Chains A and B, each alone.
Chain A
């Protein structure tokens, strides 16, 4: 089974989800990310979902889990690029993505991560 690639950028990890993930793929991503955050002592994780036209509660939970595990490992999580239709649907669905920071795009997301890390280190 193909796994979603995770890029390392300095002390940050970057994931771009570009496929409609089936459940096993999502779980594999969750595992891989957690393992990498730990291994690399990453300061932050950026998950870009600008290619996703659907986010259901399973993916929502995956994101929430990643953020929770990242926090335990002292890392921040930012989700970027959520589409309007997806955002509106998630609100209606009742999914709040607590504990997850969001940004409009990867650029703003990285800026936010750096800000969080700087605040942590201050």
Chain B
């Protein structure tokens, strides 16, 4: 992870917007927030859609498998480059086998199992950190 501290419960991280993911309405609210941020940063329509869709997948994972958590949105401005970073954190059971979880079609629930792999395909950068018993943090990033 960017700050490299391995601690997925670091509340001191800074971000532009932190949203709770505790109910399915929160997923919708978060989708809108991501769309707004992406539009403001000047992303193309297709890229906006990819970001919102990836965010929806990851937020649902946070809710259903992570027992609820938070989404953190951060706008990135490096020189003229613009990007949006999204992080999804939970303190749930964690993922024992990340490799397996990333495979398309794999699911421990009733979903399609496309969430993690799909989110990675839709983003430019993807990172996942999970400790069984502690929680999970997934980060995706897209440059304009």
Q: Do chains A and B touch in the complex (CB under 8 A)?
A: yes
Q: Is the beta-carbon distance between B115 and A54 smaller than 8 angstroms? A: no
Query: What is the distance, in angstroms, from A71's C-beta to the closest C-beta of chain B?
Result: 18
Asked whether any CB of chain B lies closer than 8 Å to the CB of A9, the reply is: no
- Contacting A at CB under 8 A, from B1-32, are 24-25, 27-28, 31-32
CB distance from A63 to the nearest CB of B (A): 11
Which candidate, A32-40, A83-91, A105-113, is the interface stretch facing chain B?
A: A83-91
B122 at interface, CB cutoff 8 A: yes
Please give, as numbers and ranges, the residues of chain A lying within 8 Å of B27 by CB-CB distance.
Answer: 22-23
> Which of A61, A84, A86, A92 gathers the greatest number of chain B CB atoms within 10 Å?
A92
Q: Which of B27-44 contact A (CB under 8 A)?
A: 27-28, 31-32, 35
**Which of A89, A94, A95 counts the most chain B CB atoms within 10 A?**
A89
Chain A residues whose CB sits within 8 angstroms of the CB of B60 once the complex forms: 23, 56, 58
A93 & B122 in contact (Cβ 8 Å cutoff): yes
| Cβ contact within 8 Å between B46 and A57 | no
A20 at the interface (CB under 8 A from B): yes
Per the 8 Å Cβ criterion, residues 103-133 of B in contact with A are 104, 111-112, 114-115, 117-118, 121-122
Q: Which residues of the other chain, B, contact A23 by a CB distance below 8 angstroms?
A: 24, 27, 60
Partner of B57, one of A20, A56, A86: A56
On chain B, the residues within 8 Å of A54 by CB distance are: 31, 35, 49, 52-53, 56
Main secondary structure of the interface of B (DSSP, over half): helix
Report if A56-B122 is in contact (Cβ < 8 Å); known contacts: A20-B32, A23-B27, A61-B111. no
A57–B118 CB distance below 8 A? yes
Residue of A at shortest CB range from B23?
A: A22
User: Which residue of B has the minimal Cβ distance to A53?
Assistant: B49
Q: Please tell me if B50 contacts chain A, counting CB pairs below 8 Å.
A: yes
Sample (24) of A-B pairs whose CB atoms are under 8 Å apart:
A20-B28, A23-B60, A24-B24, A54-B31, A54-B56, A56-B56, A56-B57, A58-B56, A58-B111, A60-B112, A61-B111, A61-B112, A85-B46, A89-B46, A89-B53, A89-B122, A92-B121, A93-B53, A93-B57, A93-B118, A93-B121, A93-B122, A94-B104, A94-B121
Given contacts A22-B28, A24-B24, A86-B49, 19 further A-B contacts (CB under 8 A): A20-B31, A22-B25, A23-B60, A54-B56, A56-B53, A56-B56, A56-B57, A56-B60, A58-B56, A88-B46, A88-B49, A89-B46, A89-B49, A89-B53, A93-B57, A93-B114, A93-B121, A93-B122, A94-B118
> Which 6 interchain pairs have the tightest Cβ spacing?
A23-B24, A56-B56, A85-B49, A93-B118, A22-B24, A57-B112
